[in-house]
């Protein structure tokens, strides 16, 4: 049917990459990653229902170098999705649509995400006695 051959959203490939679009897709990527990460969260919390041995196994897995690497990634994803989600809430009430504001708020979100991620892991590292 020729009449239905209209432009359909999303048609990302026609745009030059820029901070607004990159941060927009990063919101979805981190959202999907966090969605998949709920499997790990469910395993961790459910393991406690199976008693001390299962819980200690889960805690050991999270504390391994691979577990810590994954958790570091999740910390970044969660802080980004959280901060950018708050940015979305301002848009939802009709605020912050000017191009200069969009770029500034985007950069601010990235900055806050990096600072919060580093601060969280620096705190974890310091409490673990630098080991």
Partner 1 sequence: MEMRSPLGRVRGLGSTKSGTQHWVAERVGAIALVPLSLWFIYSVVALNGADYVTFKLWLGEHGNAVLMISFVVALFYHAKMGLEVVVEDYVHHETAKVTTLFIIRFATFLSGLSCILATLRVAFIG
Residues at the site binding partner 1, with contacts judged by CB under 8 A: 1, 3-4, 6, 9-10, 28, 31-32, 34-35, 38-39, 41-42, 45-46, 48-49, 51-52, 55-56, 59, 63, 75, 78, 82, 85-86, 88-89, 92, 120, 123-124, 127-128
How far apart are the C-alpha atoms of 62 and 71, rounded to whole Å? 8
Min dist. Cβ of residue 11 to partner 1 (A): 11
Q: Is the dihedral of CA 32, 114, 102, 19 positive or negative?
A: negative
Min dist. Cβ of residue 94 to partner 1 (A): 14
Close Cβ partners of 91 (under 8 Å, ≥ 6 residues apart):
97
103 vs 129 by CB, closer to partner 1: 129
Beta carbons within 10 angstroms of residue 131's beta carbon: 4
60 vs 104 by CB, closer to partner 1: 60
Q: Which two tokens stand for residue 82?
A: 């959280």
Q: Where are the alpha helices (DSSP H) in the chain?
A: 19-49, 52-63, 65-92, 99-127
99 vs 129 by CB, closer to partner 1: 129
Min dist. Cβ of residue 96 to partner 1 (A): 16
């Amino acid at each position: 049917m020729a009449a239905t051959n209209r432009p359909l959203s999303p048609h990302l490939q026609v745009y030059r990459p820029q901070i607004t679009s990159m941060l927009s897709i990063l919101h979805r990527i981190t959202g999907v990653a966090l969605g998949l990460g709920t499997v790990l969260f469910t395993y961790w919390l459910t393991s406690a229902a199976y008693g001390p041995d299962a819980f200690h196994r889960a805690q050991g897995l999270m504390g391994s170098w691979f577990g810590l690497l994954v958790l570091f990634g999740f910390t970044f994803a969660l802080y980004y999705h959280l901060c950018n989600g708050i940015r979305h809430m301002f848009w939802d009430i009709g605020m912050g649509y000017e191009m200069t504001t969009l770029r500034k708020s985007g950069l601010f979100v990235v900055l806050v995400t990096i600072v919060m991620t580093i601060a969280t892991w620096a705190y974890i590292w310091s409490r673990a006695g630098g080991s």
